[in-house]
Amino acid sequence: MAARPAPYLDDLNEAQRAAVEQLDGPVLMLAGAGTGKTKALTARIVHLLVSGRARPNEILSVTFTNKAAREMKTRVGRMLGQQIEGMPWLGTFHAICVKLLRRHAELVGLKSNFTILDTDDQLRLLKQLIAANNIDEKRWPARQLLGLIDQWKNRAWVPSKVPASEASAYNHRGTELYEQYQARLRELNACDFGDLLLHMVTIFQAHPDVLEQYQRWFRYILVDEYQDTNVAQYLWLRLLAGGHKNICCVGDDDQSIYGWRGAEVGNILRFEKDFPGAHVVRLEQNYRSTAHILAAASGVIRGNEGRLGKELWTEAEGGEKVRLIGHWDGEEEARWIGEEIESLQKGTRGIDPHSLDDMAILVRASHQMRAFEDRFLTIGLPYRVIGGPRFYERLEIRDAMAYFRLVVSPEDDLAFERIVNTPKRGLGDKAQQTIQATAREFGVTLLEGARIAIDEDRIRGKGGGQLRMLCENLARWGRMTGDKDVTHMELAEIILDESGYTTMWQNDKTPEAPGRLENLKELVKALEGFENLQGFLEHVALIMDNETEESGAKVSIMTLHAAKGLEFPVVFLPGWEDGLFPSQRSMDESGLKGLEEERRLAYVGITRAEELCTISFAGNRRVFGQWQSALPSRFIDELPEAHVEVLTPPGLYGGGYGAAAAYGGGSGIETRAAEANVYNSPGWKRLQQRSSQRPVSQPRESRTQVIDLEAVSAFEMGQRVFHQKFGYGAITGIEGDKLEIAFEKAGTKKVVARFVHAEDD
Ligand code: ATP
Ligand code: MG
């Protein structure tokens, strides 16, 4: 099917090509946004495969999100012109480490079926420890301890390695509690996210034979978004690359935005020291954005000190300037953006019509999302929230998952605690204490403790009977996981029905109940793409973003952090107000560190846009129920005038520009208040001065668009494909992200497209 011998190389510029073809030894690609780092990294994987240097399972390739991993896999397949046998080691640090740790869990005192705790579980556990240590949780919140422990883990400090300088942390008890926490995790056969890496680093350091095995196995290592690795991740990589040193890292120091989570931009700046003789490639041509967008982004990031200072250029001249608009309040901002999106959908002012999939709203703080969600629900504008209040974080989903967890691993005490009296089984505090005490007495899990407590008649009455039933049910469901005649979807339904959990919500009269039942159905649906319950639980523990995918175009709403690495033709950046963006915390901090990280975040935001970037701010905003007024962000002042066009806000000066006209004039009171508030601020005045010089908005020049052929759907009717579980088959139907496939052995089934590969020649 390939017209040329190596189209994946022809698509690259010279510098990219050099980075791709330099297969051996350390390579660093350090370049600004949109210069094709990820593209080159993907081509490099293809090149490794085509040149026969490595098989798919010998390449270790780290991406920042699961979504990015999936995308890269698909792209490798397309560039290759054929589907590969899966790339088992292409994923996030966490996804890769969880696989490795399952193989070697016993080396850190865990069993291979360990559970991965989420933040809620972690907190519950810490609260218990805090209480057991007679510490007043009100004065010394569990969250604080959690933050501390996370931070230590990010730095790859096991309890014994926490330095003396940290001794005063958490009222001088931090280290001690960290140690207890780790011990308790081991008892529970559980670990938290930080442990996935920490344990692997510990294992590699303590067992050179294991390390060597993987150094040999992973012949080539590739890392995207290297600027955001933390110390534990960095050590892990350095250990693995220590033998052959075939490591290629790509990143951009200007896009380091996870310092607050322990990322060390120093890792990327130190690369050449860590890997002497490293081949360093710089890329300067940006293929993503128009010149105006690029200039605006560069203007902002210039305000940071201590940068490597990369200049970017683009051939994409012309296009709209970056647009700037102020609003009376957050609701109005959401309303305006909603209208704007609708007119961009139709095509407006010389801008070609855009699909909703082309548009994204990138917020600084997740609480900003509510206004957009509310507005879009009202006007019926389809949207998806990525990485926001996640589906899997909802109460009913977490309850249901706790049932599943307990069925898969009966020693999961936290899951047991969560569901033992949900739905109500007449097991009050006293009964639960009895279970706890029994478990302690016999040194067994809570579930086992419950069984003993019933057998010994320690819990009587209605509660006792119900508990007995729960225990019996759990044992039975556990056996059913091995039953070939029951699919795991059916089992999930059985669990939710027989436990009484579904009935609980059916009987619930609150307005949320119907939605919760819907979500439970969604959950069972989501199981479909997985081999079994355990695979699914693992997946959920690992996903960072909302992945309930329905068909149809949608506007994306996400945080700036979640937008890293992505690109959209149309981007809205709302909430550019001091105190929100940059965040209050970064402004209060002494020193510039926090503020500079916020500025990098602004840079990341602007550089996501390909054609149209709109920055907005509101004079008033309701944050957690309280009205606050604000000044336009200081970053607005840093936007270079020549590349910005100031739009007149609706309701002010009688509208007059685009969607502004749709609202006519605002009420007099509003206008006056708005003028007194926002529009008299120094930032706004400067903007007004600028806008008086603004040229009449010109129709956009038509620009040759980079059409992403890779993003066009991979499948067609009749195509022969391969599914990991069901083998080969032909596509007989395509419906959203599901495919109907007539499998040669397994019969006709509907499966999630993500698990289907084009036929492997
Ligand atoms: P970020 O820093 O935001 O992660 P990046 O450096 O990883 O950006 P990519 O996402 O790889 O950049 O590329 C940006 C866009 O430019 C993509 O749409 C990609 O397909 C396109 N692109 C990259 N290199 C080329 C090239 N040589 N020719 C044409 N288009 C290219
Ligand atoms: Mg990238």
- Mean pLDDT value of segment 473-489: 93
Residue 505 lies in a domain: yes
Judge whether 587 and 631 are in contact, CB under 8 Å: no
Q: Are residues 385 and 402 in the same domain?
A: no
Q: How far is the CA of 258 from the centre of ligand 1 (A)?
A: 22
What mean pLDDT comes out for the span 253-261? 89
The mean-pLDDT minimum among 75-84, 335-344, 472-481 falls in: 75-84
Secondary-structure percent of the chain, ordered helix, strand, coil, rounded to 5: 50, 15, 35
Could you tell me if the CB of 661 is within 6 A of ligand 1? no
User: What is the arithmetic mean of pLDDT over 504-524?
Assistant: 79
For the chain, give the mean pLDDT.
84
Residue nearest to atom 15 of ligand 1 (CA): 288
Of the ranges 336-350, 555-569, 600-614, 659-673, which one carries the lowest mean pLDDT score? 659-673
Query: Among 293-302, 357-366, 641-650, which stretch is predicted with the lowest mean pLDDT?
Result: 641-650
Residue 708 lies in a domain: no
Nearest-CA neighbor of 282 among 32, 637, 9?
A: 32
> Is the CB of 706 within 6 Å of ligand 1?
yes
Q: 368 or 27: which carries more pLDDT confidence? A: 27
Question: Are the CB atoms for 18 and 281 separated by under 8 Å?
Answer: yes
Distance between CA atoms of residues 558 and 548, nearest Å: 15
Domain boundary among 542, 567, 583: 542
Q: Which residues are catalytic?
A: 37-38, 224-225, 255, 608
Same domain, 93 and 144: no
Q: Are residues 305 and 402 in the same domain?
A: no
- 552-585 pLDDT, tens per residue? 899 999 989 999 999 999 999 999 999 999 998 8
Shared-domain flag, residues 411 and 472: yes
583 and 598 Cβ atoms separated by less than 8 Å: yes
- Strand pairing category for 720-723 and 747-752: unpaired
Q: Which of 678, 677, 670 is nearest to 651 (CA)?
A: 670
Is residue 297 domain-shared with residue 250, that is, in the same domain? Answer: no
CATH number of the domain enclosing 726 = 2.30.30.140
36 lines ligand 1 (CB under 6 A): yes
Q: Which of 64, 286, 287 to mutate to test the pocket of ligand 1 (most atoms within 8 A of CB)?
A: 287
In a domain, 466, yes or no: yes
Q: State the residue range of the domain holding 309.
A: 291-390+551-692
User: With contact defined as beta carbons under 8 Å apart, do 466 and 480 qualify?
Assistant: no
Is residue 367 domain-resident?
Answer: yes
Residue 124 neighbours by CB distance under 10 Å: 15
Q: What is the pLDDT of residue 666?
A: 34
Whole-number pLDDT of residue 520? 87
Residue 352 neighbours by CB under 8 Å, 6+ apart:
none
Pairing mode, strands 727-735 and 738-743: antiparallel
- Which pLDDT does position 590 carry in this prediction? 84
Q: Say whether pLDDT at 697 is over 60.
A: no
- In a domain, residue 705? The reply is no
Using one digit for the tens of pLDDT, what is the confidence trace for 703-727?
Answer: 222 222 232 246 777 778 777 667 7
Residues 624, 648 within the same domain = yes
pLDDT of the residue at 625: 56
In this prediction, residue 698 has a pLDDT band, given cuts at 50, 70 and 90, of very low
Q: Give residue 589's pLDDT band: very low, low, confident or very high (50, 70, 90).
A: confident
In a domain, 697, yes or no: no
Asked if residue 12 has its Cβ within 6 Å of ligand 1, the reply is yes
| Whether residues 258 and 401 fall in one domain | no
Residue 265 has pLDDT above 90, yes or no: no
- As a whole-number percent, the residues of the chain with pLDDT over 70 amount to 85
Of 575, 555, 695, residue with least CA distance to 635:
575
Please give the distance, rounded to the nearest whole angstrom, from the Cα atom of residue 15 to the centre of ligand 1: 13
- 660 annotated binding-site participant: no
Query: Does 591 fall in a domain?
Result: yes
CATH number at residue 563: 3.40.50.300
Terminus-to-terminus CA distance in the chain, angstroms?
12
* 301 and 448 co-located in one domain: no
| In contact, 425 and 466? CB cutoff 8 Å | yes
Are both 227 and 247 inside the same structural domain?
yes
pLDDT of res. 511: 62
Number of domains in the chain: 5
- Position 45 pLDDT exceeds 90: yes
Mean pLDDT of the region 61-83: 87
Tell me: is residue 33 an annotated ligand-binding position: yes
682 in the Ramachandran plot: left (φ > 0), alpha (ψ -120 to 50) or beta? alpha
Residue nearest (by alpha carbon) to ligand 1 atom 19: 36
Q: Which of 12, 39, 566 for a ligand 1 pocket mutation test, highest count of atoms within 8 Å of Cβ?
A: 39
Residue of 218 and 685 predicted with greater confidence: 218
**Residues 17, 6 contacting (CB under 8 angstroms):** no
Q: What is the mean pLDDT of residues 277-282?
A: 93
Which residues have a Cβ under 8 Å from the Cβ of 680 and sit 6 or more positions away?
none
* Residue 229 in marked binding region: no
Q: What is the pLDDT of residue 725?
A: 64
423 and 527 share one domain:
yes
Q: Which amino acid is at 413?
A: D
Residue 261 has pLDDT above 60, yes or no: yes
- Are 402 and 492 members of one domain? yes
Q: In whole angstroms, what is the distance from residue 23 CA to residue 73 CA?
A: 19
Tell me whether residue 174 is annotated as binding: no
- pLDDT exceeds cutoff 60 at 668: no
Examine the fold and report which residue of 495, 522, 542 is the final residue of a domain before the chain moves on. 542
Cα angle 154, 364, 39; round to 5: 70
| DSSP one-letter code for 25 | S
Q: Which two tokens stand for residue 589?
A: 């901090």
User: Which ligand lies nearest to the CA atom of residue 7 in the structure?
Assistant: 1
Token representation of residue 72: 């890269």
- Judged against a pLDDT cut of 70, whether residue 701 lies above it is answered with no
pLDDT(627) > 80: no
Question: Would 94 be classed as within a structural domain?
Answer: yes
Instruction: Tell how far the Cα of 567 is from the centroid of ligand 1, in angstroms.
Output: 9
| Mean pLDDT to the nearest integer, 58-71 | 91
Residues 511 and 466 in one domain: yes
> Nearest ligand, CA of residue 20?
1
Question: At which of 514, 542, 570 does a domain end?
Answer: 542
Q: What is the pLDDT of residue 684?
A: 52
pLDDT score recorded for residue 308: 80
Does the C-beta of 26 come closer than 6 Å to ligand 1? no
Dist. CA 320–CA 127, nearest whole Å: 53
The CATH number of the domain holding residue 460 is 1.10.486.10
Of 336-340, 372-376, 526-530, 653-657, least confident by mean pLDDT is 653-657
483-502: per-residue pLDDT in tens?
A: 889 999 999 999 999 999 99
Q: Within its chain, how far is the Cα of 234 from the centroid?
A: 20
What pLDDT sits at residue 623?
64
- DSSP codes of every residue in 575-609: --BTBBTTBHHHHHSSSSHHHHHHHHHHHHHHTTE
> How far is 190 from 348, CA to CA, in rounded Å?
55
